[in-house]
Amino acid sequence: MEVHKYHALGNDYLVYDPKTNAMELNEERIRLICDRHFGVGSDGILCGPVFRDGTPSVRIYNPDGSEAEKSGSGVRIFSKYLKDAGYVFDRQFTLSTIGGDVDVEFLNESGDVMKVFMGTLTFQSSKIPVAGADRIVVDEPMEFGGNIYRATCVSIGNPHCVIPMDEIDKQHACELGPLVENSEHFPNRINMQLLKVLDRQNIQIEIYERGAGYTLASGTSSCATAGAAHRLGLVDDRVTVHMPGGTIEIEILPGESVYMTGRVHRVGVTTFSPEYEADLLAL
């Protein structure tokens, strides 16, 4: 058994290819593999590809064993793996996730820089989802931990709660993140981003992801936060998103469709020992 490790601005994933691995993944096995002390360590596992009518698909698992609908970093990483492993040869192709299809374009020969059409943003509460009457959730007061915050909630195939602040840092994200993720406002839990607007072309964000916790970078978080800032009238159509792991470029089109441009790095491959495989099989 083996897994291939990549990272996108420090947001790291393991690719688990069913073609070379026979073991079925379950929650307990995913948790152990992703554990940074007892396993390989990662922010999640990308399982695939499975081809349907010629289109590759990927399943995205959080380190707690839950499944994510979509991941911008995961999409970029898996696209790079598909090229590295010889599954795709074209400069442009479509990748399927349970949160919707994305269109990928490699921008260089090695495939480590790519532009991805991530889909269309929605602020409709029933589609995110957010509890309560069906409505547009933009700049809405919400209570978390006894305090009121102005929140904008959005989905780009997975759910996000964006909270603008004058100053943001990791500590505040780690304190507020679990309260937001598990709030009664969000029946399926939610990803949280703290947003600081630097100017009309640049924003800074801190990220607390559903099922993963604090992360250095996130593609869907970048898309969602840039889209929320755009909807609030705070930024222009092209935005550079600054995260602890680096920057990513977001372009917002009419109708609130989103393009993401970013880089991916390959770390290497890990082969499991027979002893470790036995531990996994026992779960």
What is the 3-state secondary structure of 41-109?
A: CCCCEEEEEEEECCEEEEEEECCCCCEECCCHHHHHHHHHHHHHCCCCCCCEEEEEECCEEEEEEECCC
**Along the chain (283 residues), what's the average pLDDT of each consecutive run of 10 residues?**
97 97 96 97 97 95 97 97 97 96 97 97 98 98 98 97 98 98 98 98 98 96 98 98 98 96 97 96 96
**Element at 150 (helix H, strand E):** strand 147-155
- Give yes or no for a contact between 97 and 70, defined as CB atoms under 8 angstroms apart: yes
For residue 66, give the nearest of 7, 121, 16, 25 by alpha carbon: 25
Q: What's residue 38's pLDDT?
A: 96
Phi-psi region of 213 (alpha: psi -120 to 50; beta: other; left: phi over 0): left
Q: CA–CA separation, 207 vs 192, rounded Å?
A: 6
Q: What are phi and psi of 145, to 5 degrees?
A: 65, 30
What is residue 41's predicted lDDT score, i.e. its pLDDT? 97
Tell me the β-bridge partners of 195: 164, 205
Tell me the CATH architecture of domain 2-112+265-281: Roll (3.10)
Model pLDDT, residue 116 = 98
Does the predicted model carry a pTM greater than 0.85?
A: yes
Residue that is written with structure tokens 């250095």 in the block: 216
Annotated domain spans of the chain: 2-112+265-281, 125-262
Which residue do the tokens 């152990």 mark?
32
At the second CATH level, the architecture of 125-262 is Roll (3.10)
Whole-number pLDDT of residue 276: 96
Q: Fold identical between 2-112+265-281 and 125-262?
A: yes
- DSSP assignment, residue 124? B
